[in-house]
Structure 1
Amino acid sequence: MSGATLALVGVILLTVFFDYTNGFHDASNAIASAVSTRALSLRAALILAGVMNLIGALLSTGVAVTVAKGLIDPPKGSAALSVVFAALVGAVAWNLVTWYFGLPSSSSHALVGGLVGAALASAGTVHWSGVVEKVLIPMVLSPAVGLILGYLAMVGALWLLRRRNQHRVGHVFRRLQILSAASLALGHGIQDAQKGMGIIVLALVTSGHQQGFGVPIWVTLLCAVSLGLGTYSGGLRIMRTLGRRVFPLDPPHGFVAEAVGSSVLYLTAFAFKAPVSTTHVITSAVMGVGATRRLSAVRWGVARDIVLGWVLTFPAAAAVAALAYWITRLVTG
């Protein structure tokens, strides 16, 4: 097996590991509220999220194409795969750091930050218009949309339910949360598995193993299974932050937050083909629904720490990726 082929295999394996870390890092996004309100047991919620992530990953490839060809052009030759490898190192490193500290950061933006950092370090081309249009603008707008829609939808739900028996309302919404958690996990699969697909396609094209940016079925299946397995392995550290520390969710608030979050994910994936962060959308939706109780009900100190993690994700992953690229080139010559 040639050195170039070994490098390609290494990139594919690291992408599989990235998708796995994405799964356990972001599993909390879909199931935190359903578990915290006892709508589902932890085991049942993880199985549901893993299966729905797998199904979602098979439904679309638009975001994958954006990642593969809309953000960077690596340099030609042997450096190309080093760029992709370094980008993955930056993304995985940030995923593990934020998982350790229980911060629900964005795997998507860690990966894009890694791509940009590695491309700059290698003197490759960064398509800044694509980065701004497809990543940075959605990165700012999607949390704002999640926050506002979460607040408005919850206000509407509270008005409709104002004369209902609250015990019965809680029972009904606890059942409905199974559907909303499944819907959010499906949206996570549609969005996040495609980032790994895009990376593998980019590696195949830059190494000369594929013409064009179509996603082969084996790439789709590989990333889907990796994400699903990672999701099933769980992510309790982040789940506690999202399900309890930001705002103590009850079934109606949890259902509305999940419904709003999944709607935003579907819209951005199918209409705009933009790699939006599941974490940003659902966390901001939780803040929005929590604010309807009273502003002080949301633990804004925790929210501030989460937002700080969001701001740091892109440059931190880029810096690690740039360092990883220089080390890789130094070792490989």
Structure 2
Amino acid sequence: MFLSAFTDIISRPEGIMLIIIIVLALGFDYINGFHDAANSIATIVTTRVLTPFQAVLWAAAFNFAAYFISLYIIGEFKIGNTIAKSINEQFITLEVIFAGLVAAILWNLATWKLGIPSSSSHTLIGGFIGAAIAHAGGFVVNGEDVIVYAKVIPIFLFIFGAPFLGMFLAYFITIAILWICRKANPHKAEKWFKRLQLVSSALFSLGHGGNDAQKVMGIIGAAVIFYHINVDFDPQYLQEGVDHFKLFVDHWWWVPLASFIFIGLGTMSGGWKIVKTMGSKITKVTPLEGVAAETAGAVALYVTEHMGIPVSTTHTITGSIIGVGITKRVSAVRWGVTISLLWAWILTIPVSALVAMGVYHLVHLFV
């Protein structure tokens, strides 16, 4: 059955484009994994709890384990649904999705090369939005908004909300830990916190996998939904009141699985330049502070995943690391590095959108 469906898809030009998009999306997922590997392993590497190789294996395993939590415990893929529905379906085409993905991949590779921990989430959103606007010729067409603002505005707000949430949680978790352990033997306490870092890192990796793998699912879902509605006119997708994303997840069950596998494989490839930035350039992190930062980041990711808001794991853990730094003194945080990161975060969506517009117009010349 699967083979016959695949043969039917590749028999059409649009089907070949759909397959290209799926391959590109999983490629982006892999890049996202090694780009964001630092988020969950930076502190356990810099505090020498694990070697870099051990750390990426640890993080990759829990990135993949997040698939089972999303499927069997949460019971749905809310973030993937948000991404798929962030653009009005009337203005989505396969060319739009292709251009958005290419732009996201280019920006991710550029920031990885420069060692800048930018957001893969916002890169993907920016590319999708930019390509859709280029296709539509504006933000509003015949009274219809190209962007679904109810989905996109919370994502924009959490560019700033996620790091502040991480910082707030990390600050108070650190203060609480210091108070609880105020009479503990420092040497014994450090040994315990090194062990606890394995737990906190695993928790954050679960949050990272559950959050970021779903973003790729959402993009693939948008492409599959477009194909079934506009190319093969699948009657199931044409019924009124049908949840298109749920149909996609039920029928293309292997896409969620592949998304979590590829982000895990990408994490295993590491991202050592960004590890250095996250683990030491923002502030020097001890095992205790590593536990506090990763726990705070994990809680923030679980909360936003429950709300269905795709946030940046990079922004979240950066805010958490800043939060533990502030508990020592404000000057313990290297604010020059932090401000540079903030500019990268702010520029990610508009730059990705502009690149996607250019890619879309280039693709449109040949397709």
Q: TM-score range by the shorter chain?
A: over 0.9
* Match among 273, 290, 310 for residue 275 of structure 1: 310
Query: Within 5 Å, which residues of 2 pair with 1:22-41?
Result: 22-41=32-51
In structure 1, give the amino acid aligned to 2:177. A
Equivalence for 1:159: 179
Task: Verify the 8 A CA contact 1:74 1:119 in the aligned structure 2.
Answer: no
Equivalence for 2:106: 93
Q: 1:252 to 1:201 in 2, by over 3 A?
A: same
In structure 1, give the amino acid aligned to 2:245. F
* Match among 216, 219, 225 for residue 255 of structure 2: 219
Q: CA deviation at 1:74?
A: 5.0
Equivalence for 1:176: 196
Matched, 1:73 2:89: yes
Q: CA deviation at 1:312?
A: 0.6
Compare CA radii of gyration and give the structure with the larger one.
2
1-structure distance, mates of 2:348, 2:91: 24
In structure 1, give the amino acid aligned to 2:278. L
**Number of residue pairs the alignment of both structures matches:** 327
Task: Give per-residue Cα distances to partners, 1:197-224, cap 9 Å, x unaligned.
Answer: 0111100011126631122320111111
* Match among 101, 105, 126 for residue 113 of structure 1: 126
Once superposed, what is the RMSD of the aligned Cα atoms? 1.3
Structure 1 residue runs of 4+, over 2 Å off? 57-60, 70-76
Task: Verify the 8 A CA contact 1:73 1:126 in the aligned structure 2.
Answer: no
Equivalence for 2:69: 59
Q: CA deviation at 1:57?
A: 3.1
Task: Verify the 8 A CA contact 1:57 1:191 in the aligned structure 2.
Answer: no
In structure 2, give the amino acid aligned to 1:288. G
SS of 1:292's equivalent?
Answer: helix
In structure 2, give the amino acid aligned to 1:95. N
1-structure distance, mates of 2:91, 2:353: 17
Q: 1:147 to 1:227 in 2, by over 3 A?
A: same
In structure 2, give the amino acid aligned to 1:96. L
Task: Verify the 8 A CA contact 2:119 2:345 in the aligned structure 1.
Answer: yes
Task: Verify the 8 A CA contact 2:21 2:220 in the aligned structure 1.
Answer: yes
Greater mean deviation of Cα atoms: 173-182 or 208-217: 208-217
Q: CA deviation at 1:295?
A: 1.1
Equivalence for 2:329: 294
2-structure distance, mates of 1:53, 1:149: 22
Q: CA deviation at 1:90?
A: 1.4
Task: Give per-residue Cα distances to partners, 1:117-156, cap 9 Å, x unaligned.
Answer: 01100007211232103x1122221111111111121112
Task: Verify the 8 A CA contact 1:46 1:232 in the aligned structure 2.
Answer: yes
Task: Verify the 8 A CA contact 2:123 2:349 in the aligned structure 1.
Answer: yes
* Match among 132, 145, 150 for residue 129 of structure 1: 150
2-structure distance, mates of 1:69, 1:296: 42
Q: 1:312 to 1:59 in 2, by over 3 A?
A: same
In structure 1, give the amino acid aligned to 2:358. L
Q: 1:313 to 1:221 in 2, by over 3 A?
A: same
Matched, 1:192 2:212: yes
* Match among 140, 150, 156 for residue 160 of structure 2: 140
1-structure distance, mates of 2:214, 2:68: 9
Q: CA deviation at 1:44?
A: 1.1
- Structure 2 spans left out of the alignment, 5+ residues: 1-10, 71-76, 138-145, 238-243
2-structure distance, mates of 1:72, 1:21: 27
In structure 1, give the amino acid aligned to 2:171. Y
Query: Within 5 Å, which residues of 2 pair with 1:315-326?
Result: 315-326=350-361
TM-score (norm 2): 0.87
Task: Verify the 8 A CA contact 1:89 1:324 in the aligned structure 2.
Answer: yes
Q: CA deviation at 1:72?
A: 3.8
SS of 1:141's equivalent?
Answer: helix
1-structure distance, mates of 2:321, 2:95: 39
In structure 2, give the amino acid aligned to 1:130. K
2-structure distance, mates of 1:15, 1:24: 15
2-structure distance, mates of 1:116, 1:59: 29
TM-score (norm 1): 0.95
